[in-house]
Structure 1
């Protein structure tokens, strides 16, 4: 058996080493504040008083630190701003499939408003769509979508930094950013192989293996293959993801980590199209439209290829000074050669004597392709020093990114119509191509930033400032926009010996705005400010077998210099005026707990009040931001039996409530605003663990609650995701 184990390790690590060294010319990611390498979950079998005891240890279930919040190793309890960390232990124990599921129990984050979309992770943070970062560097997001959809299995954690984040990351939305940290190589051998099967013919095999291959060299390989259908008729998707990494310990003080990822996606049948409001949210004389109905076309195709390659470098000059650098090249390509969808609502809403009365909808074909090429680098010094009785954690850095977006489209209006209650699909036109330019531009951004955390005993004062130079070249209009901006943050918190830490902070952010006003003047950047206060608690006095982190926060965000037609977004039509203002205020409560390695608890409550304060479109004033529910309440608890014949068996149950939210702001194409429906959904899991195996069945929306998640317009409604049940078998080594 020992010979078999040794041979298996050698074969697995040889494959991972080959992949890791293949990526070595462009080694990648950020030096994390905590050890993200290897598996932190461990299942052991012991004997206590003659009884077998199964203990599932999840060391990192409750987060303690996050590089995302400060770009250095400041603990969460000392960070004067809200940040939620969904760790790999949480992802594995609760069997989250994607990022939208992972933030279900996170305060201030609202996801799954676009139904069962198989391409992207859609969610908002405090009323705004967050920008995605991977390993601390901006992801190659497209012109229209702030998510690139890299699979959750590739990552060690998902961090949501709430509120303005420009002082560390440059241009950013007011609601914040989310950063996903890739899995890392470990100097101890380990890994897993898992297989999933679920309803809608969900099939997946995935695995990760890591360990040392030479003195000072550790490698890892993570991969995934998925083939699934959707609850929407004629829709299916395939995904392949590979992510090798290698870490080189170059002496006692220098480390180089290489990260690479590649992902291929193909979705057929569209994302379900858009359903009419009559028959979903509102009554229809023909009855309810089934949530399985596809208003798109089985011939619709979406194809995506994306690659990221780069390095993380760390060198310690002394115990007080460390230099860190992370750099990444990314290439993102997506294409929709056929994109038939519901574009014209019902063709007959006036004559009930005809058979197509409130039945037949108009379809158009929208083809689209975009390529995003990006380069990003972040270089900084960490300095720890003492000046008298004051301890300083100083961060000073410069980052740069260059992004080229090229997008083109085609559009064929009203090419066909179908009976939404009994659809017969025509063959989609695959010859339309992409004859029109949508966006061709290059963005260059350089930022210089500094931060100092001053410690006076148990009191911490954090000061940060940044200056950005942004240059955007529009190749279609041959215009160049240059926008410079200074942003800053100040925060204070007091950490008591019992683990309570009240805090207060003020932060600013900005985003470039394209276009010119009525007088031909270039727009100023859109700006935002946030004041936040709250209290954190880390249960340090409750004993080693109780881990708990609680955050309670109240905040107010104000965004200014908005071009009327693009509240909460960037990019503006020529001829608009820059006078819009938005305000969001609210409160959040979030709890993550792991008690005696037996009970896990995730819970949150969020209240958000959003309002358009100023706009040239009078109808917008006083309106809430889209997909920003006032209330979100969620709680999930999981318990594992440790002793007796049922030792290793566990089960969990949770519920989540989200109140209704507006589908859009009123505009010329959607003068009537429709609210999506409020929903109370329940999730459950049952699992059994041994030292080598884990068996789990998890269910989302287990009672199959049907509801309209969003209606962006009269012909643009989507149902929320229905019941999903997935079984997982995992072999751990």
Structure 2
């Protein structure tokens, strides 16, 4: 870089706004609680990232810049953020901007100021930006980007695949990023509501229970991490998005980065971080079935020097359903505090608390009389299977995470992470068994627990090193992690009185005894070490390779009723590897291939008492990513093939026992598009084709499809903002989701019908700090069966109407 450009003051023919320089990078050890937000790298040459670039990638700033000449607006923008803007003074002469009012990231705000001017921008150094005409881009030395590509629904940066942040076009995997704008426009109050836009995803949950976030990707259960950290023992309820900045979906096996996981997809939830200015937002949402939701988001600096900042998000929700006697109450609180000890060291501590109570959850409704013929006709789908005098289900959880990050020098960053999660639950729920011969009398059972608890501790230390070996550049990630999961479950499943599903009578059947319960105690310890190297061989050719070793020790004990605890101990270990390549024949196009592995430990033993080997998965994938219109049109198309081995199936020589010789395959095509073809039009679309087959099985399922995996899915979300005229300050948004028919079980005994769900909404912003919205879900009032387990199906809400008022300060 020309040394003159580093000086404060004026350069002839240039406008140069003052910048506060960074202090010299200190040496020392740093542990960073990694796992949030993205960092951009230069298109020509990658520089090591600074730790605060990660935070800046999701830092929001509030602007109130009126419509005026562009140069004055840029001056106001740069002073607000302490940025240095470099451009010839004649470049902006005669140009105007519509202004900027609202809360945006640095780069999102700059994009909006430059809309319609034909100007491009480039980040140089740490907080310096150059402007140029589209055909006359100023070339300065390597870029160190401090913002994110985040305009409309466009988000091309992700941390899931690298833990440190990279452009999605430099990653040799299919990765999707859904930003806060999309979450807001689609009213996605839980993670599961946004995952429907992932190509090939299949909803395996329900709106009326704790499993709404359950999704299948490429035929297998999805995996979830928060800010890159694993956790959970199967008791997690739906995750509220009130404190979520964006959601990343990393397709395919991710065991090298995250340990034991299904070969499907890893969903990384990136949380909101504290702001360096005061910000407050509140909202109220209301709708059909007495649905209302209150939300709040407050952030700002604690100290005058802004080295200590806080943010707290909260939500309260209460709703009913079309099912009789159903109510749901939800409480959510998420505080976060960050402390900048130096310009190179930051500590972030955040927590979430959630508590949910359902008067009863939907455990499935008989398909007979609802989906398939019944001699008595159709029963009312609003009929409650459980009993209204049961105490229902309560689930509560606390999650505390800390991230400490420190930068040694220009090329070495270390991070330390800790996460603790505790979950508790109680439930008393009725469920359907089967019809008697009259096809109207339904036998039932009851689940019960007086209280289950689980704790999860996760520790991660990793180091990122950016260095060159001759002409080859390396982005090396090295880490170790340890996880301990404990659970203490006390459950009971017993028969209870039957019910006439066509003429139900309530509260007349004596309840079965609620004791003694069965006891299950579990203690799992997992240790892992991993290494990944992303190598830039040439400017347009990158390689990635990595491996992980995992050792798992599992102690379980089980007692039936008052019987003695029967202990069982097993050990598993596995090596998993990944390899990939990215080639850019020209700048807008990236061709990628990968081979990745996964493993999932299994419970149980063979007839001889030998523990089963872990399930193993191998994926081969290839595809193409493109970015056109200066990043306003991004597409990904990929083909994959996954083989999952060591799946348990029946032992033909020893009835009642299993052997791990089963195998399933999944292959398919996925395509996604994110675009802003006009300044006031945003859209996102996806299509998935998934073909699954059970290729080895002793249960008579060979050649069958996997349950609840549609061959075809399609989703489209769009928003159009009116500017000027009688509809000024109005916007329209809507989405279409198509899911093809699926099999209800691996035996393929029942087909779940496909559906097309349409949502439509209108927004109005009477003043810059107030938003009013109204929308309709399931506009066509279609019968939507989200999933099924054998002969029991899950019917979702009919057409519903919703409104929202949101205000900011």
| TM, length-normalised to structure 2 | 0.80
Name the SS of the counterpart of 1:424 in structure 2: coil
Contact 1:256 / 1:312 at 8 angstroms: preserved in 2? yes
Name 1:554's counterpart in structure 2. Answer: 639
Name the SS of the counterpart of 1:91 in structure 2: helix
Name 1:701's counterpart in structure 2. Answer: 778
Listed as ranges, the matches of 1:80-229 within 5 Å are 80-111=172-203, 114=206, 116-117=208-209, 120-142=212-234, 147-214=236-303, 215=305, 216-229=307-320
1:58-101 Cα offsets, whole Å, 9 max, x none, are 63231121111221222211111112222112111332222222
Contact 1:548 / 1:594 at 8 angstroms: preserved in 2? yes
1:396-444 Cα offsets, whole Å, 9 max, x none, are 000110000222211221x212221232222687784463335311111
Contact 1:262 / 1:308 at 8 angstroms: preserved in 2? yes
1:336-362 Cα offsets, whole Å, 9 max, x none, are 0x211212x22233xxxxxxxx32211
Residue 372 of structure 1 and its aligned partner are, at CA, apart by 1.2
Name the SS of the counterpart of 1:339 in structure 2: strand
Residue 114 of structure 1 and its aligned partner are, at CA, apart by 3.6
Name the SS of the counterpart of 1:168 in structure 2: helix
Name 2:763's counterpart in structure 1. Answer: 687
Q: Does 1:675 align with 2:764?
A: no
Residue 365 of structure 1 and its aligned partner are, at CA, apart by 1.3
Distance across 2 between alignment mates of 1:615 and 1:532:
25
Contact 1:44 / 1:56 at 8 angstroms: preserved in 2? no
Listed as ranges, the matches of 1:556-635 within 5 Å are 556-564=641-649, 575-617=657-699, 619-635=700-716
Residue 314 of structure 1 and its aligned partner are, at CA, apart by 0.5
Listed as ranges, the matches of 1:718-729 within 5 Å are 718-729=794-805
Listed as ranges, the matches of 1:89-488 within 5 Å are 89-111=181-203, 114=206, 116-117=208-209, 120-142=212-234, 147-214=236-303, 215=305, 216-268=307-359, 270-300=360-390, 301-336=392-427, 338-343=428-433, 345-349=434-438, 358-368=439-449, 369-413=451-495, 415-426=496-507, 432-433=513-514, 435-437=516-518, 439-456=520-537, 457-476=539-558, 477-488=566-577
Distance across 2 between alignment mates of 1:655 and 1:120:
19
Name the SS of the counterpart of 1:412 in structure 2: strand
Distance across 1 between alignment mates of 2:441 and 2:522:
40
1:1-35 Cα offsets, whole Å, 9 max, x none, are xxxxxxxxxxxxxxxxxxxxxxxxx9976353243
Contact 2:32 / 2:415 at 8 angstroms: preserved in 1? no
Answer 1 or 2: higher relative contact order, Cα 8 Å, separation at least 6.
1
Residue 675 of structure 1 and its aligned partner are, at CA, apart by 1.3
Distance across 2 between alignment mates of 1:663 and 1:119:
17
Change (3 A) 1:242 1:388: same
Contact 2:34 / 2:415 at 8 angstroms: preserved in 1? no
Contact 1:506 / 1:531 at 8 angstroms: preserved in 2? yes
Residue 701 of structure 1 and its aligned partner are, at CA, apart by 1.1
Contact 2:232 / 2:421 at 8 angstroms: preserved in 1? yes
Contact 1:203 / 1:228 at 8 angstroms: preserved in 2? yes
Change (3 A) 1:686 1:561: same
Name the SS of the counterpart of 2:176 in structure 1: strand
Residue 287 of structure 1 and its aligned partner are, at CA, apart by 2.4
Name the SS of the counterpart of 1:137 in structure 2: coil
Contact 2:205 / 2:787 at 8 angstroms: preserved in 1? yes
Contact 2:214 / 2:222 at 8 angstroms: preserved in 1? no
Residue 272 of structure 1 and its aligned partner are, at CA, apart by 3.0
Distance across 1 between alignment mates of 2:741 and 2:352:
38
What is the RMSD computed on CA atoms of the aligned residues? 2.5
Distance across 1 between alignment mates of 2:466 and 2:32:
27
Distance across 1 between alignment mates of 2:64 and 2:730:
12
Distance across 2 between alignment mates of 1:83 and 1:454:
19
Change (3 A) 1:50 1:463: closer
1:664 corresponds, among 709, 726, 745, to: 745
Gaps of at least 5 residues in structure 1 are: 1-25, 350-357, 567-572, 667-671
Distance across 2 between alignment mates of 1:475 and 1:513:
15
Distance across 1 between alignment mates of 2:666 and 2:97:
55
Residue 281 of structure 1 and its aligned partner are, at CA, apart by 1.5
Structure with higher Rg: it is: 2
Change (3 A) 1:434 1:442: farther
1:639-672 Cα offsets, whole Å, 9 max, x none, are 0012234222000233221111111123xxxxx7
Name the SS of the counterpart of 1:691 in structure 2: coil
Name 1:7's counterpart in structure 2. Answer: none
The farther-off stretch of 215-224 and 102-111 is 102-111
Contact 1:193 / 1:730 at 8 angstroms: preserved in 2? yes
Change (3 A) 1:711 1:95: closer
Change (3 A) 1:525 1:297: same
Contact 1:112 / 1:720 at 8 angstroms: preserved in 2? no
Change (3 A) 1:417 1:595: same
The farther-off stretch of 252-261 and 556-565 is 556-565
Distance across 2 between alignment mates of 1:371 and 1:341:
23
1:219-245 Cα offsets, whole Å, 9 max, x none, are 001001111112212111101111100
Name 2:163's counterpart in structure 1. Answer: 71
Change (3 A) 1:29 1:290: farther
Change (3 A) 1:410 1:44: farther
Change (3 A) 1:247 1:274: same
Name the SS of the counterpart of 1:80 in structure 2: coil
1:378-400 Cα offsets, whole Å, 9 max, x none, are 11000000111111000000011
Residue 722 of structure 1 and its aligned partner are, at CA, apart by 2.2
Contact 1:140 / 1:148 at 8 angstroms: preserved in 2? no
Change (3 A) 1:120 1:682: closer
Contact 2:190 / 2:238 at 8 angstroms: preserved in 1? no
Distance across 2 between alignment mates of 1:598 and 1:380:
42
Gaps of at least 5 residues in structure 2 are: 1-30, 39-53, 70-94, 109-149, 559-565
Distance across 2 between alignment mates of 1:52 and 1:136:
38
